[in-house]
Chain A
């Protein structure tokens, strides 16, 4: 059981280039999330999805777009990369939206280290 798988694991981009990060989960989770992790900042939510075909903005959405065409996949796109987007990106998924549900856990992938030069 792979859980949450992110592709690629490492990438170096030049300023202005575009790329797509792929997240795939095999746990049949409805909810998926994209975070970025920066030193001294913890994890910050970029975008999330509450089901196939839906997306919503998180805390730091500017410069990113997402799509959820299939339930198991959540794509994060950078249309024109900037050095400020140098970060480690994590995808996560959960079976519930949180709150009072007993099973409230977000499962994370291994991360994608992106450097924009």
Chain B
């Protein structure tokens, strides 16, 4: 079964909008929560990551919100741009990256 559940599957927003992608996990051993961005024909690339000792992390226009008690985390993209159009994957990992589990992905389209 999917250990990391990601929603929505696809998302369309207008330029300047704030898309939000949500993920939920079950395994309390997870302690590293990255988000990967993937453009068509390319491999995933690390966008931003958070550990459970903080509730929020910002890097530029990208913010992760983390709710440890609810076992949920989300990605917010401020002032979204057409260049942000990509597939976004959340992931969760316990001690080892070899046990990292990925969400199913969200295809984001930002319209001009």
Which A residues lie at the B interface, using CB under 8 A? 4, 31, 33, 40-45, 48, 50, 56, 58, 90, 92, 94, 96-100, 104-106, 108-111
- Nearest-CB residue, chain A, relative to B103: A42
Q: By the criterion CB–CB under 8 Å, are B45 and A42 in contact?
A: no
- A58 to B103 Cα, complex, angstroms: 16
B45-77 residues with Cβ-Cβ distance < 8 A to A are: 45-46, 49
- A39 to B89 Cα, complex, angstroms: 12
A residues less than 8 Å from B105 (CB atoms): 40, 42
- Further pairs besides A90-B44, A106-B100: 13, Cβ < 8 Å: A31-B98, A42-B89, A42-B101, A42-B104, A97-B97, A98-B98, A98-B99, A104-B93, A105-B34, A106-B46, A106-B97, A110-B42, A111-B41
Which B residues lie at the A interface, using CB under 8 A? 2, 4, 6, 9, 31-32, 34, 36, 41-46, 49, 89, 91, 93-105
- Nearest-CB residue, chain B, relative to A44: B102
- A44 to B101 Cα, complex, angstroms: 7
Given A4-B43, A42-B89, also A33-B97 (CB < 8 A): yes
A residues less than 8 Å from B98 (CB atoms): 31, 33, 45, 48, 50, 56, 58, 97-98
